[in-house]
Chains A and B, each alone.
Chain A
Amino acid sequence: MMSYSILTVFDIVLISTLLWLAWKMLRSEDIFKAVVLFISFGLLMALAWVRMRAPDVALAEAALGAGLTGPLFLSALRRMERLHKDERRVDIDEERKSDRTLDTKQKEAL
């Protein structure tokens, strides 16, 4: 039963790597990093499906979980960051405008 014990060691390594990746992903400060970790998590998950003798699920996971969910998150992240930039620019414009009105008011008062 030598092969059995080696496979069990492989199982333990694979599962602990998966758990560690999930932990790092959910704890990371940077969301971009979390998404990249999620993609690698999906690829390792495909390996786990192959180990579980589920090649259909492994194919779907490799194509969908890693190949499509990752880009989905990245495009959503880009969309949100663009929004933030717009918001910031609006803020700066308004601050400038308000500064200008304040200046003119001060001048008028003087």
Chain B
Amino acid sequence: MTARSTQNKRKRFDPVLLLVLLLIVFLTGLLVQVILATDYLGSGLGDDVARFQDLSGVESPVTAVLLNFRGYDTLLEVMVLLMAVVGVWSLTRAPFPKKPIEPGPIQLAVVRLLAPLMVLFSFYLVWQGSHLAGGAFQGGAVLGGACVLMLVSELPWLKNISSRFLRIGLLSGPLVFLGVAILCIVLQGTLLDYPQEWVGTLLLLIETACAVSIGLTLACLFAGGRPKDDLSGGRKR
């Protein structure tokens, strides 16, 4: 205890840290002024979104903004997620335990009960996203949670899945989104300018594909490395 307090004292008198503290206090003052000067009563973009809500093909304003009004952002964001997986896979191999760990009976029962429910709930969230809170990201997150639950309990059949299916699943979201965007160029002449009669169906298609690939992305990020069969054509590093 005394050691810690002396350490704290030494930290407090460290000149560099003192300088950092001073700069941070200065920054805080500036930012507080910005917050006090912000106008919170203006309507922002809410009225504009409400005016064009009928044209977006969905009833939930957040989903409309995500996939229709600012679809370009979301397209790039799905690509960012793919890039994160590529980065992780290029860095290291997934750490597999030497001998398989036998999961306990309670853990197995919990996984058996929860994992299918979570998968079902994730697709319910995607479907619900067109009119209430929910959507591709929330559905994908719950799907990723289900995959992480299965990964944590070390189910043996999970390790034997060919990584080809995994790659197809990871790519499905970005490819479907990009395909629809290019289809829009062909049909309408502008990127992501959905044809009015198909807009609801197209958004649901994009959302489903994105939810699958977001869920798999999160699971791959949790697994922490490329799979055992990395399809690199025999080149070993």
Q: Which residue numbers of A lie inside 8 Å of B, CB to CB?
A: 29, 55-56, 58-60, 63-64, 67-68, 71-72, 75-76, 79
Min CB distance A98 to B, Å, is: 28
Min CB distance B20 to A, Å, is: 14
Min CB distance A63 to B, Å, is: 4
Task: State A92–B60 Cα separation when bound (angstroms).
Answer: 62
Most chain B beta-carbon neighbours within 10 Å: one of A59, A63, A64, A67: A63
Q: Which residue numbers of B lie inside 8 Å of A, CB to CB?
A: 4, 60, 62, 95, 125, 133-135, 137-138, 141-142, 144-145, 148, 152, 218, 221-222, 224
Are A68 and B141 touching (Cβ within 8 A)?
yes
Question: Which chain B residues border A55 with CB–CB below 8 Å?
Answer: 133
Closest to B141 in A: A63
Are B134 and A59 touching (Cβ within 8 A)?
yes
Are A60 and B144 touching (Cβ within 8 A)?
no
Are A60 and B222 touching (Cβ within 8 A)?
no
Task: State A3–B133 Cα separation when bound (angstroms).
Answer: 26
Question: Which chain B residues border A60 with CB–CB below 8 Å?
Answer: 137-138, 141
Closest to A71 in B: B148
Q: Is the interface of B mostly helix, strand, loop or mixed?
A: helix
Are A56 and B133 touching (Cβ within 8 A)?
yes
Question: Which chain A residues border B222 with CB–CB below 8 Å?
Answer: 68, 71-72, 75
14 A-B residue pairings within 8 Å (CB atoms):
A29-B4, A55-B133, A56-B62, A56-B138, A59-B138, A60-B137, A63-B141, A67-B145, A68-B148, A71-B148, A71-B152, A71-B222, A72-B221, A76-B224
Question: Which chain B residues border A29 with CB–CB below 8 Å?
Answer: 4
Task: State A68–B147 Cα separation when bound (angstroms).
Answer: 11
Question: Which chain A residues border B218 with CB–CB below 8 Å?
Answer: 64, 68
Most chain B beta-carbon neighbours within 10 Å: one of A56, A58, A64, A79: A56
Question: Which chain B residues border A56 with CB–CB below 8 Å?
Answer: 60, 62, 133-135, 138
Task: State A63–B224 Cα separation when bound (angstroms).
Answer: 19
Min CB distance A47 to B, Å, is: 15
Question: Which chain A residues border B142 with CB–CB below 8 Å?
Answer: 63
Question: Which chain A residues border B141 with CB–CB below 8 Å?
Answer: 59-60, 63-64, 67-68
Task: State A82–B224 Cα separation when bound (angstroms).
Answer: 15
Closest to A78 in B: B95
Question: Which chain B residues border A72 with CB–CB below 8 Å?
Answer: 221-222
Closest to B8 in A: A27
